[in-house]
Amino acid sequence: MTTTFVILNIALLLLVIIGLFIMQKKHVSFSKRVFTALGVGIILGFILQFAYGGADSEIVMATTEWFNIVGNGYVKLLQMVVMPLVFISILTAFTRLKLTSNIGKISVLIIGILLGTTAIAAVVGMTTSFAFDLEAVQIEQGDAELERASQLEERQSGLEGKTMPQQIIELLPANPFLDLTGARPTSTIAVVIFAAFIGMAYLGVKRKQPEQAELFSKLIEAIYAIVMRVVTLILRLTPYGVLAIMAKTVATSDIGAIMSLGKFVIASYVALLAMFIIHLLLLTLTGLNPVTYMKKAFPVLTFAFTARSSAGALPLNIKTQKSLGVSDGIANFAGSFGLSIGQNGCAGIYPAMLAIMIAPTVGIDPLSPSFLASVVAIVAISSFGVAGVGGGATFAALLVLSALNLPVGLAGLLISIEPLIDMGRTAVNVSGAMTSGIITSKVTNDIEMESYNDRSNQIEAEAHM
């Protein structure tokens, strides 16, 4: 009987997938298809949960194993393309950059803005935690939470015993080919550094041997075109991936736990919304229209929200910046750096909120000025090397909590609402990366204001799917 119900559930998923495919054939917009998949996935998840007696049901567990072929398969394809995408985007930034003499200034500005906004995000996260009176002791620990805590403590063991200088050295690519496999938590930033070295070597060759540099530039452009095509093929699968991921997430979630953690969910989104408003204020202070930014950024932020992947959103991120008048080089730099440095949501708000929640459990006064200053500084420094697909927020939390000598296991208390919060965090990460590129372009007088203000020059996500 169990097998019969599982087959029925799989057939139901396939019917919805066919429906999404028909919508694509009828040229329904990409955003509408993704939101449809999101909504239907949630409904399907609730149906499975209530029809078969909860998340622990044998039928639900067996069904979601099959759903994982679509959902986790999509995530693995995104992970597959992350390192090639980051590597080739950084190299392309060098080959396309017109202001070669300003590369140092541009890099410093982008990284400075990313780190600065992450420090601000930490303050926002802490303020929100205080305002909502969030404490880890308020959260009940179930089997899933205890298992997650055990996993985090095990992962922390690899970080223990390393001083800050040693952790900084870990960012460097001793074996770039190993880092291209994503083998280390800091592989993303290591690949960025490796690509930057090759890019600087290219600029040196361009001055002394322009013919060889021209050949290299054409090769990079060809590889970039192929990699982007691969990304496009994967992004076309987004509605199906979102459908399966949401159905599985809702079907296997402890609804009671989610309800009990409702205050943390609300607090998180208040903080994320506040950070997005700060992005708009920064653009306004540099003389740019924030409404124009919101309208043009909506497609890529929608994609980031539903797909929960900063790396997967990179192509749309770059295209959106270009529609806002940012040059190719700066757009590639900002988009790529934003994947591994200063993610405002995952590396800023989230670990800061956890630090404030967990501090009282070990007798630390979270209102202590020295503790607050330590949190902001450590969050900013630790934001280097946060990966752009899955697990980035967890890695950032491990680094911050370890540096503050706080128990990392308590971070596992939020496992039941991780996917729900991660959607908003990812959108804020992408917005932070785009903001850094736009502001850098404005400060260096490299922005095309006509393109920025041209409302018709807007990237639609579906146009590239």
pLDDT of amino acid 247? 87
Name the region of 282 (left: φ>0; alpha: ψ -120 to 50; beta: rest).
alpha
3-class DSSP state of 181: coil
DSSP state at residue 462: G
Predicted confidence pLDDT, tens digits, the chain (465 residues): 678 888 898 999 999 999 999 998 998 887 788 888 988 998 998 888 888 877 678 888 888 889 889 988 888 888 788 788 888 888 888 887 764 557 778 888 999 999 999 999 999 999 999 998 887 765 555 545 455 545 555 555 555 556 667 767 877 888 888 888 877 767 777 888 898 899 889 988 988 898 999 999 999 999 989 988 888 888 888 889 888 988 887 888 766 666 667 888 899 999 999 999 999 999 999 999 999 999 899 888 988 887 778 877 888 898 899 899 998 888 888 988 888 787 898 889 988 998 998 888 888 888 899 999 999 988 888 777 665 555 567 777 777 887 788 877 666 666 667 778 888 999 999 999 999 999 999 998 889 998 898 876 665 544 444
Residue 129: name the closest of 451, 359, 425 by CA: 359
pLDDT of amino acid 442? 93
Spell 204-243 as b/e; 16+ CB within 10 A means b.
ebbeeeeeebeebbeebeeebeebbeebeebbebbbbbbb
Residue 429: Cβ within 10 Å count = 33
Handedness of CA 69, 75, 76, 78 (dihedral sign): positive
Distance CA 439, CA 113 (A): 8
Q: What are phi and psi of 389, to 5 degrees?
A: -130, 110
Mark out the alpha helices in 183-309 (DSSP H runs).
187-208, 210-235, 238-251, 255-260, 262-285, 290-307
pLDDT of amino acid 397? 78
Task: Please check whether the domain covering 2-464 is classified as CATH 1.10.1740.10.
Answer: no
DSSP string, 306-367: HH-BTTTTHHHHHHHHHHTT--HHHHHHHHHHHHHS--IIIIIIHHHHHHHHHGGGGT--TT
Name the region of 457 (left: φ>0; alpha: ψ -120 to 50; beta: rest).
beta
DSSP state at residue 389: B
Q: What's the CA dihedral at 321, 381, 121, 112 to 10 degrees?
A: -40
Contact 452, 437 (CB under 8 A): no
Mark out the alpha helices in 52-133 (DSSP H runs).
58-96, 103-131
pLDDT of amino acid 465? 46
Tokens at 9, concatenated: 């559930």
Distance CA 47, CA 138 (A): 30
Handedness of CA 134, 139, 144, 146 (dihedral sign): positive
